[in-house]
């Protein structure tokens, strides 16, 4: 077993909360204020772990188990995702399907958590989450299909290592379309502006935040940490595609990948600073457009314009 492959999941487990800090710091700079520390999520998680969870009398065992299921799914997903062209600790043909379904299982557990409270308010957020997820997953799958045809590989690690700078020179149009589609999916899956605003508590606009309103203590800590891992995973998919740099020295590979991760989240912070949130009826249009980009790229590949 190549133990060096565990360095990248370990980076995800340790550094993922910093991504939210980077986004908030960029937004603070644009707003002309100091803002919270980039380590604020670490402080919040540590504080929540020291408290006790409070459960409504209407909830069942689902509410107690869901946060652990969500966190477990995201931790397992980090073991499947390759980092910077290096093989993931767990890799096999078709493992991208397992990655997507682990993310789907975490979402399913979140929806069950919201519905188990018996609150119509949280049920509203759950229905929106499921609707947008159903529109986002085709774009994610289509992007993978394009990359599978382009690299001739079915494993995530082989797909990642099969993309190089040369591919960006010869097939830039395909990769740009997949990159834009996946960036829109990143914003959607992680409840970022213009799809959702993680800082709002307006009941008519909330999606993710409303589903976890009843979570508290360690349960909320698990969910917040899992959210940071999810952001790391989707950012990692984008970095592997857009920054296909390969280095023989392990420390160089780690450094370049982490810099790429933070750069993606700087872009997210800029997007959130210069854009307003979309109306709910506009979000499906954006997601359908993302799927259309993936479909166009797939058709171009199938028609043989790019070999």
| DSSP character string of 19-81 | HHHHHHHHHHHHHTS--S-TTHHHHHHHHHHTS-----TT--HHHHHHHHHHHHHHHHHHHHS
- Contact (CB, 8 A) for 293 and 181: yes
For residue 34, what pLDDT band results from cuts at 50, 70 and 90?
A: confident
If pLDDT is split at 50, 70 and 90, which confidence band does 125 have? confident
Q: What is the pLDDT of residue 254?
A: 84
Q: pLDDT per residue over 70-124, tens digit each? A: 999 999 999 999 887 678 888 899 999 999 999 999 999 999 999 999 888 888 8
pLDDT of residue 43: 96
Mean pLDDT of all residues in 157-174: 88
Q: Minimal CA–CA distance to 193: which of 82, 87, 268?
A: 268
Tokens of 236: 């990692």
The dihedral over CA atoms of 117, 78, 104, 234, expressed in degrees to the nearest 10, equals: 100
* pTM given for the model: 0.94
Give dist(CA 296, CA 171) in Å, integer: 14
| Other beta carbons less than 10 A from residue 307's beta carbon | 7
Region of poorest pLDDT, from 42-46, 120-124, 146-150: 120-124
Would you place residue 234 in the very low, low, confident or very high pLDDT band (cuts 50, 70, 90)? very high
pLDDT for res 205: 61
For the cut 60, the answer to whether the pLDDT of residue 285 exceeds it is yes
Predicted pLDDT at 145: 93
Cα–Cα nearest to 67, from 215, 191, 198, 270? 215
pLDDT, position 44: 95
Secondary structure element (H or E) that encloses residue 122, with its range: helix 120-151
Each residue's pLDDT tens digit, 187-211: 999 988 888 877 766 656 678 888 8
Q: What average pLDDT does range 245-249 have in this prediction?
A: 77
Query: Under a CB-based contact definition with an 8 Å cutoff, are residues 132 and 283 in contact?
Result: yes
Burial 225-237 (b: 16+ CB within 10 A, else e): bbbbbbbbbbbbb
Which of the four pLDDT bands, split at 50, 70 and 90, describes residue 3? low
DSSP 85-119: TBPPSS--TTHHHHHHHHHHHHHHHHHHHHHHTT-
Average pLDDT estimate for 29-43: 92
Instruction: Report the pLDDT value the prediction gives residue 166, as an integer from 0 to 100.
Output: 87
| Confidence check: pLDDT of 307 > 60 | no
Question: For residue 4, is pLDDT > 70?
Answer: no
Q: State yes or no: pLDDT of 1 exceeds 80.
A: no
């Amino acid at each position: 077993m190549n133990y060096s492959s565990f360095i990248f999941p370990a980076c995800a487990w340790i550094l993922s909360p910093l991504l939210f800090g980077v986004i908030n710091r960029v937004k603070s700079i644009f707003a002309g204020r100091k803002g919270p520390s980039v380590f604020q999520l670490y402080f919040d998680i540590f504080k929540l772990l020291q408290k006790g969870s409070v459960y409504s009398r209407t909830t069942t065992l689902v509410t107690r188990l869901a946060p652990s299921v969500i966190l477990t799914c995201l931790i397992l997903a980090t073991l499947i995702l390759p980092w910077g062209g290096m093989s993931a600790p767990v890799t096999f043909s078709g493992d991208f399907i397992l990655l997507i379904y682990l993310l789907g299982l975490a979402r399913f557990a979140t929806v069950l958590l919201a519905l188990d409270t018996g609150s119509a308010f949280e049920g509203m957020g759950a229905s929106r989450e499921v609707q947008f997820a159903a529109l986002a997953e085709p774009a994610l799958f289509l992007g993978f299909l394009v990359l599978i045809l382009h690299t001739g590989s079915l494993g995530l690690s082989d797909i990642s290592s099969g993309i190089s700078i040369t591919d960006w020179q010869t097939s830039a149009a395909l990769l740009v379309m997949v990159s834009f589609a996946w960036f829109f999916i990143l914003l959607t899956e992680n409840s970022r502006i213009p799809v959702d605003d993680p800082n709002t508590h307006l009941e008519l606009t909330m999606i993710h935040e409303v589903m976890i309103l009843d979570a508290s203590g360690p349960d909320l800590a698990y969910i917040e940490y899992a959210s940071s891992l999810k952001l790391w995973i989707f950012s990692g998919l984008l970095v592997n595609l857009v920054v296909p740099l390969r280095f023989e020295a392990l420390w160089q590979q780690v450094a370049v990948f982490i810099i790429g991760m933070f750069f993606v989240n700087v872009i997210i912070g800029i997007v959130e600073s210069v854009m307003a949130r979309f109306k709910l009826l506009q979000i499906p249009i954006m997601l359908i457009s993302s799927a259309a980009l993936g479909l166009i790229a797939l058709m171009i590949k199938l028609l043989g314009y790019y070999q």
